[in-house]
Structure 1
């Protein structure tokens, strides 16, 4: 299983390099990760708010990384469904994403 921060970040670099644009793993354990994104101008909408695609991308990469801690290195896992509700205008500061795997079945994982 991929469970150390270094293993997960190396896995991202090697198998999903564009995912690095959505943050880096800072902490990890069995079935969970904490990722940090240093917000840059390319992540912002006019008015200085972090864009929805940036937040959704970060959430997607975080849960994908958390799943790797449960099933082992599996670069071909894909997202079947992702839902997000934007509750407030995010400020352009470092963003954190905490993802946790709730269930892993034979074909699906839920986080």
Structure 2
């Protein structure tokens, strides 16, 4: 799936949150997804919350996988490890740069870095594994 197809999939299947995200480029290694962080994504202290960054990571990896295998709605997260390294500033979008490490028949493994548009260094790092349902 290319970027327009992935964006259409998001709008159709995840209409409740699709407007929070903007798909950047789809690359041979993965993709870039932006979270348009707003007031609802903040935690006390004026920073983007951990759950909001987890959602960004989860959706970014999911879309990276779908960009390779097509619209498989039942591909699901089986494992996630996320390290929060810096506090992203409120009022700035954050983006996830995904790199697919393995795309097999039943599992996909990816690493990603999350950046705040206001900082050069990553604010979080995650490693995720997805289960891919068997083909029928």
* Pairwise same-fold verdict (TM > 0.5): yes
**Which residue is equivalent to 2:39?**
41
Q: 1:69 to 1:94 in 2, by over 3 A?
A: same
8 A contact 1:22–1:54 mirrored in 2: no
Q: Which has the higher helix share?
A: 1
Task: Tell me which of 56, 59, 69 is aligned to 2:57.
Answer: 59
Which one scores higher on RCO, CA 8 angstroms, separation ≥ 6? 1
SS at 1:103 equivalent: strand
Question: d(CA) in 2 for partners of 1:62 and 1:19?
Answer: 13
Q: How many residues align?
A: 109
Return 5+ residue gaps in structure 1 as ranges. none
Displaced runs of 4 or more, over 2 A: 16-19
Candidates 69, 72, 85, aligned match of 2:70:
72
- Residue 16 of structure 1 and its aligned partner are, at CA, apart by 2.4
Q: Paired residue for 1:99?
A: 98
Secondary structure of 1:17's aligned partner: coil
Q: C-alpha displacement at 1:53, in angstroms?
A: 0.1
Q: Which has the higher strand share?
A: 2
Structure 2 residues not aligned, in runs of 5+: 111-136
